[in-house]
Structure 1
Amino acid sequence: MEKNEIKILKLFGPSVMVAKIPNSTLDALNNYIDVVVEDKKKSSDLDYGNQLVGDVTQEFKLDREIIEKSGWGKFLAGCVNKWVEVELKKKITKFELMTTWIVRQFENEYNPTHWHSGHISGAGFLKVPSTFGKHYQEKTKTYQGGQLQLINGTRHFLSPSTFSITPKVGDFYFFPNYLMHTVFPFKNTKEERRSISFNAKIDDNIYNIYGGR
């Protein structure tokens, strides 16, 4: 069994955790997605675009069978369990996967700033173009096309309000549901940027820090 290596990032207010999707899970998901893309009826049945804010080519939910068969659900539950235990020194007794979905993004498409429902969310990368393009003008600033940007609060001295992530296949970032994020458009390629996200609930008494004792 592949071991999940995690890294917890304390970049600003909320804790963010990054983990590697196991290769076997990554391959199983991509193979499944390729089948769904070719099957118009299945694509229609699983369509999730009208529930999401992205202006992208396709968004669809994963069905229960592939979540279990690929090990995707087990990966998510295991990582969230470890994250909460390391951060809060508590063990969750509940991991309720509300929904998990695929985003197929192509040239000039984007995901506006938004947040998720549930308690815990995340986003990661299953397929990445060989190039995201470059600035039209010569600039010293990093080109952000295709990047996932996490957003929190406002910028202060020694306190950035954003963290930009360059997509790498297999990287998956976990964050609290309320953390705002966006995905920038990219250009100069016909290749696909394929990502996966989820929303889940954990124990209410762990998530609700304002609850009574």
Structure 2
Amino acid sequence: MKVIRPFGPTIAKVTIPEDLINQLNDYLDKLTQNEKQMSNQDHGNKLVGNVSQEFKLEKNFILSSGLKNFLNTSAKDWIKQTINKEINKFEIIDSWIVRQYENEYNPLHSHSGHISGVGYLKVPDNYGDTVQKNKKNFNGNLQLVHGTKMFLSPVILNIEPKVGDFYFFPNYLMHSVYPFKNESAERRSVSFNAIIDDEIYGSIGK
């Protein structure tokens, strides 16, 4: 048996190098100790999330930390494996870190650019219980949504965040993040939007 995927976008899952995770966490920890810098890099008004802290990463840090190289290399591999084409352009529009706390959430939305992604730097040990004990617990989870539910075509991919996991997806893919119940915990993620070769992005389906 061979299972093919004739419709719908692919999603790539890769592992963030441990050194990069440490650099991103150290960067944010230092940033949050400087109120002026926090204010300058506050990215919340540009994002849809109902969260207290969302910070845009500085361009020089994106480069010096190796984050751009990690994103570029991973995106090239993802696109090559999906459509057998090599991208030559990878331009980051923006990248930011989200600190999500109890009861905060990200409503259903999409991104700008051509490709986007999210990776996890810190997650709660416990996301809290559901109101009804017999229900599946989606607290703190990411959900990617595409198309309409049909036979052999699920519409939702549910992702339970784990430190080091990074997911790449097309910019248009709708997604949301659920709130969680744990007053002493932080859910920390890093995201980005980027532009690739127009002729490759625009050639799909032709």
The normalised TM-score by structure 2 is 0.94
Pick from 136, 140, 159 the counterpart of residue 146 of structure 1: 140
Is residue 72 of structure 2 the alignment partner of residue 96 of structure 1? no
RMSD of equivalent CA atoms: 1.6
Pick from 66, 74, 84 the counterpart of residue 79 of structure 1: 74
Partner-residue secondary structure (3-state), 1:19:
strand
Pick from 27, 32, 41 the counterpart of residue 22 of structure 2: 27
Aligned equivalents of 2:21 and 2:176: distance in 1?
Answer: 23
Equivalent residue number for residue 155 of structure 2: 161
Equivalent residue number for residue 200 of structure 2: 206
Q: Report sequence identity in percent.
A: 52
Cα deviation for residue 158 of structure 1 reads 1.8
Unaligned runs of 5+ in 1: 1-9
Aligned equivalents of 1:163 and 1:15: distance in 2?
Answer: 11
AA matched with 2:160: T
Preserved contact between residue 129 and residue 189 of structure 1 (Cα < 8 Å) = no
Preserved contact between residue 29 and residue 66 of structure 1 (Cα < 8 Å) = no
Aligned equivalents of 1:195 and 1:120: distance in 2?
Answer: 17
Preserved contact between residue 148 and residue 181 of structure 1 (Cα < 8 Å) = yes
Preserved contact between residue 46 and residue 62 of structure 1 (Cα < 8 Å) = yes
Aligned length: 202
Structure 1 pair 211–15 and aligned structure 2 pair: CA distance change class (3 A): closer
Cα deviation for residue 211 of structure 1 reads 9.4
The normalised TM-score by structure 1 is 0.91
Cα deviation for residue 210 of structure 1 reads 6.4
Equivalent residue number for residue 195 of structure 1: 189
Aligned equivalents of 2:180 and 2:13: distance in 1?
Answer: 23
Aligned equivalents of 1:136 and 1:211: distance in 2?
Answer: 44
Aligned equivalents of 1:170 and 1:118: distance in 2?
Answer: 24
Cα deviation for residue 209 of structure 1 reads 2.2
AA matched with 2:137: Y
Query: After alignment, is 202-211 or 184-193 more displaced?
Result: 202-211
Is residue 110 of structure 2 the alignment partner of residue 115 of structure 1? yes
Unaligned runs of 5+ in 2: none
Is residue 187 of structure 2 the alignment partner of residue 181 of structure 1? no
Cα deviation for residue 188 of structure 1 reads 3.0
Structure 1 pair 211–13 and aligned structure 2 pair: CA distance change class (3 A): closer
